[in-house]
Amino acid sequence: MNGGQRLDGKVALVTGAASGIGLAIAQAYAAAGCAVAVADLNRPGADAAAGAIAAAGGRAIGMAMDVTDEAQVEAGFDACTAAFGGIDIVVSNAGIQIVKPVHEFSFEEWRRMIGIHLDGAFLCTRAALRRMYAAGRGGCVLYMGSVHSKEASALKGPYVAAKHALVGLAKTVAKEGGPHGVRTNVICPGFVKTPLVLAQIPELARRHGLSEDEVVRTIMLKDTVDNVFTTVEDVAQTALFLAGFPTDALTGQSVIVSHGWHME
């Protein structure tokens, strides 16, 4: 599936790209002609993803990057620039989930969630903006938000807090980046069947006293218009559309791709 958008001559860095949504975005960007740095905590996974992209005729490198580690983020952006001659698109996508009520979270778990989702977004944003401003050729920074950037669910306190915060960061970056030709948007998917979601279904079932089927029907898909999961391809096509959008008209926005779970 490709909406026809092309990214020929562009360079992208995608975090959390060894799996799930990030992997699909890396593949879609490469298929659209973009050189891609596949960055992930999971180095073998990143290398495998980059290898598969190269085998399919695309340009990609894999790299180890913990988005909470300032030195690793800076080194990854430098390696991307060295390999491909610049950086035009950054997708801050790496994420995890921990499911439990707020009063049961340890401070360490809270900090881990905020560290990956929010500190990681900051470190990648700053690394991107410094390089994009210096190169003077504009750019695009995308954040992987969620429907949980717009509304809450029980048992997901730090996730909901961090995903809401990304919208504020993006609006600020839109204002600061505008004069430099840097656009930014937040992608807000509904539930997508990735390891992150599959891992939380048993815990949600236990906590809510439901079967796993009931979790899917009565929680995850309850408010969709058609009882259908969003797919990694749906999200990747949204990321492709936003990265390839030709003007600065579309910036500072949240694009919700959720089968109508959340409507604005």
Q: Which amino acid is at 160?
A: V
8 Å CB contact between 26 and 49? yes
Distance between CA 111 and CA 106 in Å, rounded? 9
- Which one, 135 or 210, has the nearer CB to ligand NAD? 210
In the structure encoding, which two tokens stand for residue 45, read together? 């996974």
Which residue stretch of 75-83, 98-106, 121-129, 193-201 sits at the interface with ligand NAD (rule: CB under 6 A)? Answer: 193-201
- Residue 2 is classified by DSSP as -
One of 11, 27, 37, 40 touching ligand NAD (CB under 6 A) = 40
- Which one, 66 or 88, has the nearer CB to ligand NAD? 66
Q: Is 251 in the site for ligand NAD (CB under 6 A)?
A: no
Q: Is 144 in the site for ligand NAD (CB under 6 A)?
A: yes
Which residue stretch of 4-12, 38-46, 128-136, 174-182 sits at the interface with ligand NAD (rule: CB under 6 A)? Answer: 38-46
Contacts of 248 (CB under 8 A, 6+ apart): 178, 181, 183
In the structure encoding, which two tokens stand for residue 170, read together? 């993006």
8 Å CB contact between 17 and 29? no
One of 21, 113, 160, 167 touching ligand NAD (CB under 6 A) = 21
8 Å CB contact between 38 and 64? no
DSSP string, 69-129: -HHHHHHHHHHHHHHHS---EEEE-------B-GGG--HHHHHHHHIIIIIHHHHHHHHHH
Number of residues that bind ligand NAD (CB under 6 A): 29
Contacts of 68 (CB under 8 A, 6+ apart): 115, 116, 119, 120, 123
Q: Is 146 in the site for ligand NAD (CB under 6 A)?
A: yes
Distance between CA 94 and CA 212 in Å, rounded? 26
Going 44 to 48 to 50 to 54, the CA torsion angle's sign is positive
Q: Is 162 in the site for ligand NAD (CB under 6 A)?
A: no
One of 30, 192, 221, 240 touching ligand NAD (CB under 6 A) = 192
Q: Is 75 in the site for ligand NAD (CB under 6 A)?
A: no
Q: Shortest Cβ distance from residue 189 to ligand NAD (Å)?
A: 4
One of 12, 18, 63, 221 touching ligand NAD (CB under 6 A) = 18
Is 159 a catalytic site residue? yes
In the structure encoding, which two tokens stand for residue 121, read together? 């977004």
> Which of the residues 99 through 138 are near ligand NAD (CB under 6 A)?
116
Q: Shortest Cβ distance from residue 140 to ligand NAD (Å)?
A: 17
Distance between CA 62 and CA 195 in Å, rounded? 20
Which residue stretch of 11-19, 99-107, 176-184, 241-249 sits at the interface with ligand NAD (rule: CB under 6 A)? Answer: 11-19
Q: Which residues are catalytic?
A: 159
User: By the criterion CB under 6 A, which residues form the site for ligand NAD?
Assistant: 15-16, 18-22, 40-42, 45, 65-68, 93-96, 116, 144, 146, 189, 191-192, 194-197
